Structure formats: structure tokens, C-alpha cells
Amino acid sequence: MPPAGARRHQAGKWRGHVPDETRRSTIDEIWNGLTEAFRRLGTLDPALVEIVLLSFRVSGTALLVSVVLGIPLGAALGLSRFVGRKLVTALIYTGMGFPPVVVGLFVYLLLSQSGPLGRLDSPLIPDLFTPGAMVVAQIILSLPLVAGFTMAAVLGVDPELRQQVQSLGATRVQAAWTVLAEARSGVVVSVIAGFGSIISEVGAVMMVGGNIEHRTRVLTTAIVLETRKGNFDLALALGFILLALTFLTNVAMLWLQGRSLDR
Amino acid sequence: MSEWLYQLENLTKEYGGRRVLQVDNLQVRRGEVLAVVGPSGAGKSTLLRLLNFLEPPSDGCIRFLDLQVTADRPAPLAYRRRVTMVFQRPVLLDRSVGANIRYGLQIRGCRNEDHELVAVLDLVRLRDVVHQPARTLSGGEAQRVALARAIVLRPDVLLLDEPTANLDPYNVGLIESILRNLNREFGTTLVLVTHNVFQARRLADRVALLLEGRIVEVADVEAFFQAPQDPRTAAFVRGEMVY
């Protein structure tokens, strides 16, 4: 088979009328993309490995922070009644639908040299066009999803349960923990939703990361770039790899969900 | 050891300014079966929640053993764990039957609870379903799991909130006989809330009638049913509307 990129589409060429050969070659592209994906995976292509690792490092770190903050936040919102709870809930639900590109713009402005946070020059605040900046943007995207779905899952647990386990001698913390354990299917969904939203997201990482080779290039931004360059084989290969890795990650999380709490 | 396990004095409970319970004086004797009867909405469940220390009283005092519980002095965990309740509608954990019954022991940090588990499973006749998910049980079986998870803790006091409402005669009979044995063999004090006067008559040593949050009459079971002092008790015993 021809080397990658040898058979380029002429991106930008006028395509008002699509001849039959081109249609057939679209099927070929998909096929080539698949084989290319396997070839690159099989040979552990260093450029690919770098991109995959950075994708998972950025989205993994953002997810970890979102889970550590979002699950307790969602559980607290689901379990407690306080003035302003409705407002906080509405804010979280709004956050669940944040457009990544707008979050990217927002973080861009915050972190840029003249922005309110960038100006502080603090070592705790990441610079623009670094993986740290991408992590910040992705936390903003996934935290509301994790917190929102966790809250919904906790609210779905029979409200009588808490009183009944307290009657059996559970402390407040034990009772809250038990309710969260009962909501575990929904909590796993919250993690999967949070992960899915950021591993597949391109707007924010492109905006604050800049898709710099060897530094901030992740799977999604690489796909955009290769598509623009007309490297459909490679773009598709990256797409398949992204899908496959996301699938495997979700299978792993579902395996955790399916594990019983019985001893 | 005193004869009284609980002493309620000028106890009131309000929700949002609405008084749902006002008990001037009520005692629960050690080792007795006290049935609290009354129409729905009389405050029976509220009374049980207070006896279980799940909620503080709005005013007044609950003496339990050497403890005094008031509005701003809640029961410490160690006392709270000597009392447990079986609810009308059991909410079981989405785990196996065995894990449900072990729950109370686990949160107390008990290990090697298998011996107790087996004994309790035999008592409630659920040995065959110990590994089954609790959500697959029938209503009667679920209530027996709820009873088992409470009994396994060997509480001083077992509170029962309409434990056999909506159950079939087989399960009612089984649960009543378990309760009777528990009371006789282990001396567990039972406070049974029911609107079923026949059940109160079958199980109780003493019966209290609660009406609109107030105790109308407390008497030994025979006196309560044969020679009620209050006309409202007499009407309730005859099955007439008393409110």
C-alpha cells in the first residue's frame, strides 16, 4: 500500500460534483485509515504514541481533578437542603452544556500574559499553550458533568434509605457513603460522561493549547490538522485510535461498575 | 437496673410550627411489648423516630437508661446503636441478602459475623436466598430481611413501624412469632406501632392509644380491650371512627 500522505486529496478543491471514482475512494480512505491505524499501533509509531500519551495525560488529569471535586460536590448537593441549592443546581446544569470553544476562549483570556491570572505570573497558574492550560480548560468542561450526574444519581436513591441505615446505627458520614454506594451506577456514568466530553473535545484544547507539535498536540487537534492537510488516512487512523481507546477506557469503567459490593 | 427503659416527659415535636406530637408522660418498661395504636396521622411514626433518636424533640425530654435527650442534647452514637427500627416499607441495599443483613455489623466494625448471620437467617427462614440480590425478593421476604438486619444487632429495643402492613397471612404469622421469641428469649423490648388492633392484642403486654399527637390511654392489654377507661379508646377498640 502507498505510504501515508502519498495519495492526498486536494483539500479545498471544488467538489460540487462528486464523480463515482471519488465516492469509491471514500470507502478506500476508511479502509486505508483502518489499516494505517493498525500499522501505526503495531509499530508503536513514536509520533502517535506521543500524541496518545499527551491526550490521556491531559484528559486523565482533568478527569481526576473533576472526580475528586465533582463526586463529593454532587453527593453533597444531592443529600443536603440549603438555601440557594436550586441556583447552584441550575449553574451546574448550565455548565454541563458549556461549549468547549467558549470555555477555551475564557481560559485563553484568563491565562494570557495580559489576562487577570496570567499577569500574576504565579507558578501555580499554567501558561497558555502548555498542557497545564489544557487541563484547566478541560476541568471546567468535565467538572459540571461529573457533579451534575452524581447529584442526579444520588437524588435517584430512595430518600427513605438514609433514615433506615441511620436507624441501623450508621453515622451521618456512613449513611451518606451508603447512599453514594447505592448510586454507584450513576456515579460511574458521571465519570464516563466527564471523560467522554473531554477526550473527544477539540475546541478548548485547540484554543488554549495551540496544537503545537511535541508539546500540546493531542488526538483531536491532530485529527483536525491532518484533515486540513488532506491526510485523510492519518486523520482516520487517529480517529479510529481515539474511538478504540475511549471504548477500552469505558469498558474498564463499566467493569468497575459491574463489580458487586457483596463479599 | 430500673424498671423503665424510656421515660418521656413533656415531649413535643413540631414540624414547621405544626405540633404533631405532645406526650406529657409515657414510659416503656424493660422487656415489655408496648403497642402504640391509633389512626394514621396520629403521630405514631414520629414517636418512633424520636425513640430511635433519629430526630431531636422540639421540647421536653426523653430519658433512656442513664441518658437524657433534649432538643439540644442529641443521643450519642453508642446509645443510638442500642435501638433500631423496622419500617413499614423496607428499603434494602442493592446488594445480596447476606450483605444487607451484615450491614449494621459492618458499620460497627464487627468482623467474623458469619456465625450470627447463619443464626439469624435460620430464624427468618431465608437461608436459601442468602446470596440472592435483595431487589429480587418478594415483599414478605424483603420485610424479613429488614427484620433480620435489625435483629442481628441484638438491640436493647426494637421499634416496629407497621411491620406487617400489606403482608400475606403466612408472613404476618412468621414475623409475629419471630417477634414473640425475640421478646421472650432475649428480653428485647419491643415498641410496635400498628393500626391493627388484632395484632396489638396478639403481641402486646401494654397498649397505648395515640390520637392527634396525644396519648389518650395506656393500659395493660386486657384492660385496654376489655375495660377501656376513655370513651375514645372504647370506640377505637370497637372499630369506630374516633376523630
Residue A175 in any domain: the answer is yes
Chain B hits for A166, CB-CB cut-off 8 Å, are 54
Q: Is A170 on the interface with B (CB under 8 A)?
A: yes
CATH of the domain at B193: 3.40.50.300
Q: Closest residue of A to B133, CA-based?
A: A262
Query: What are B63-122's pLDDT values in tens digits?
Result: 999 999 999 999 999 999 999 999 999 999 999 999 999 999 999 998 777 888 999 999
The domain in which residue A59 lies consists of 26-258
Query: Nearest Cβ partner of A261 from B77, B81, B99?
Result: B99
Residue A152 in any domain: the answer is yes
Per-residue pLDDT of chain A (263 residues; tens, 9 = 90+): 444 444 444 444 444 555 555 555 778 878 888 888 888 878 888 888 999 999 999 999 999 999 999 999 999 999 988 888 899 999 999 999 999 999 999 999 999 988 888 888 888 899 999 999 999 999 999 999 999 999 999 999 999 999 999 999 999 999 999 999 999 999 999 999 999 999 999 999 999 999 999 999 999 999 999 999 988 888 888 999 999 989 998 888 888 776 655 54
Among A230, A251, A218, A232, smallest CA distance to A35 is for: A232
Place of cell 491532518: A226
pLDDT for the residue A2: 45
Q: Is B91 on the interface with A (CB under 8 A)?
A: yes
Q: Total structural domains in chain A? A: 1
Residue B98 in any domain: the answer is no
Q: Is A173 on the interface with B (CB under 8 A)?
A: no
Q: Is B81 on the interface with A (CB under 8 A)?
A: yes
Residue B189 in any domain: the answer is yes
Cβ-contact B183, B191 below 8 angstroms: no
- Interface touch B54/A163, C-beta < 8 Å: yes
pLDDT for the residue A24: 57
The domain in which residue B51 lies consists of 4-92+155-237
Residue B135 in any domain: the answer is no
- Interface touch A166/B54, C-beta < 8 Å: yes
Residue A11 in any domain: the answer is no
Residue A249 in any domain: the answer is yes
Query: What are B142-197's pLDDT values in tens digits?
Result: 999 999 999 999 999 999 999 999 899 999 999 999 999 999 999 999 999 998 89
Q: Is A167 on the interface with B (CB under 8 A)?
A: yes
pLDDT for the residue A23: 58
Residue A21 in any domain: the answer is no
ipTM higher than the 0.90 cut: yes
Query: Nearest Cβ partner of B93 from A166, A167, A182?
Result: A182
Residue B108 in any domain: the answer is no
- Interface touch A169/B85, C-beta < 8 Å: no
Query: What are B198-224's pLDDT values in tens digits?
Result: 999 999 999 999 999 999 999 999 999
- Interface touch A262/B90, C-beta < 8 Å: no
pLDDT for the residue A14: 45
pLDDT for the residue B1: 52
CA distance B83 to chain A (A): 8
Give phi and psi for B43, each to the nearest 5.
105, 10
CATH of the domain at A233: 1.10.3720.10
Among B119, B117, B193, B114, smallest CA distance to B161 is for: B193
pLDDT for the residue A4: 45
Residue B243 in any domain: the answer is no
Query: Nearest Cβ partner of A169 from B80, B90, B159?
Result: B80
- Interface touch A169/B52, C-beta < 8 Å: no
pLDDT for the residue A228: 94
Between the CA of residue A165 and those of A26, A213, A214, B138, what are the distances in Å?
A: 60, 55, 53, 20
CA distance A192 to chain B (A): 21
Residue A164 in any domain: the answer is yes
- In a mutational test of the B interface, the residue from A160, A161, A163, A164 whose CB has the highest number of chain B CBs within 10 Å is A164
Residue B97 in any domain: the answer is no
Residue B145 CA to residue B127 CA, distance in Å, equals 11
CA distance B108 to chain A (A): 8
CA distance B163 to chain A (A): 13
Query: What are B1-40's pLDDT values in tens digits?
Result: 568 999 999 999 999 999 999 999 999 999 999 999 998 8
CB contacts < 8 A, A to B, total 60
Residue A2 in any domain: the answer is no
Q: Is B43 on the interface with A (CB under 8 A)?
A: no
A249-255 long-range Cβ contacts below 8 angstroms, 24+ apart:
A249/A195, A249/A199, A250/A192, A250/A195, A250/A196, A253/A188, A253/A191, A253/A192, A253/A195, A254/A188, A254/A192
Q: Total structural domains in chain B? A: 1
Q: How confident is the model at residue B47 (pLDDT cuts 50, 70, 90)?
A: very high
CA distance A89 to chain B (A): 25
Q: Which residues contact B108 (CB under 8 A, 6 or more apart)?
A: A169, B81, B153
Give phi and psi for A224, each to the nearest 5.
-60, -45
Residue A149 in any domain: the answer is yes
